[in-house]
Copies of this chain bind each other. A is one copy, B any other.
Amino acid sequence: MTSAETTNVRTYLKEKGQFVDKLLDRYLPLANTDPVLLHTAMRYSVLAPGKRLRPILALAAFEYCKGDAAGEDQPIHFAMAGLEMVHTYSLIHDDLPCMDDDDLRRGILTCHKKYGEATAVLAGDALHDIAFLLMARTGLVQAGKELAEALGTKGMIGGQMADVEAEGRDVSREEVIRIHTRKTGALIRCALRLGGLIAGVDDMKLAVLTKYGEKIGLAFQVIDDILDVEGDAKRLGKNVGSDSRMGKATYPGVVGIEQARHDSAVLIKEGVNALDIYGDSVLKDIAYYIGQRDN
């Protein structure tokens, strides 16, 4: 990736990220409406600075399929906001004392540290719920189905459960891949599929988006593991080294850092190659960007 391309994708991600922030602000309940504490906690966690990767990928997939997102309150906007809300719900519950017991997230105190555990459990539940309301607002039954499948026991929650169960014991490379594919990969894959489905994509192009999503979803989590070993806490906005302290199953933990770096690069390349038959797309630049990310 040349530095000009890096600049372009950085600009794209920044602009679209700001657009996602506006959507989130629009579709979250106002903090001054009852129940005030709950709405305040939800807004605190969702509106904390984030990469907004899942909604941006949904939008990029939508554009890749020639979807037209002009105007306010378009189906793709509901899906984008819903994706970030479920992502935040998963972070809030994952940070709870009974789960990963984290104090810091996106550079600020975790939801339960700031508002207490009961409020954090309910804030997560409420965001989980709003996401499905937003999926219903797309008008597509399939949108709710895709999201529910990505989040369920064969997807994200199944991955989180396997992650908890794997703590403190030796795991194989295949097992880590299986955890990561579900825990992180399923929702990223879903983001790409939703973008395509809302644009009215055909099956063949949907299969391309799905494959791209699977490859970069897994790559994203492998790089997350690498950053947890080598990253800068300030830039990441969360504590580093927490995976190994928790005895978590990590990809570099089973294959080593150098092999992990190599494998993530291969995954990125495979994701990019999957797109080839339909020509160029910002999705390629995003994939390369993920491969080089430092936060």
Contacts and interface: CB of A to CB of B under 8 A. Distances in A.
A145 B136 contact: yes
Contact of A141 (B93, B139, B158, B161): B139
A41 to B, nearest CB: 9
A282 interface: no
A110 to B, nearest CB: 14
Contact of A158 (B35, B136, B149, B157): B35
Most chain B CB inside 10 Å of its own CB: which residue of A93, A141, A160: A141
A133 B145 contact: yes
Interface in A130-171: 130, 132-133, 135-137, 139-142, 144-145, 147-149, 151-153, 157-158, 160-162, 164-165
- The count of identical subunits is 2
Interface stretch (A4-12, A46-54, A114-122, A211-219): A114-122
18 contacts: A35-B161, A37-B165, A38-B157, A39-B153, A42-B153, A93-B125, A99-B121, A121-B121, A126-B157, A126-B158, A129-B151, A130-B148, A132-B147, A133-B145, A133-B149, A135-B144, A136-B142, A139-B141
- List 3 A-B pairs, minimum CB-CB distance, nearest first: A98-B117, A133-B148, A136-B145
Interface of A: 29, 34-35, 37-39, 42, 93, 96, 98-99, 116-119, 121-122, 124-126, 128-130, 132-133, 135-137, 139-142, 144-145, 147-149, 151-153, 157-158, 160-162, 164-165
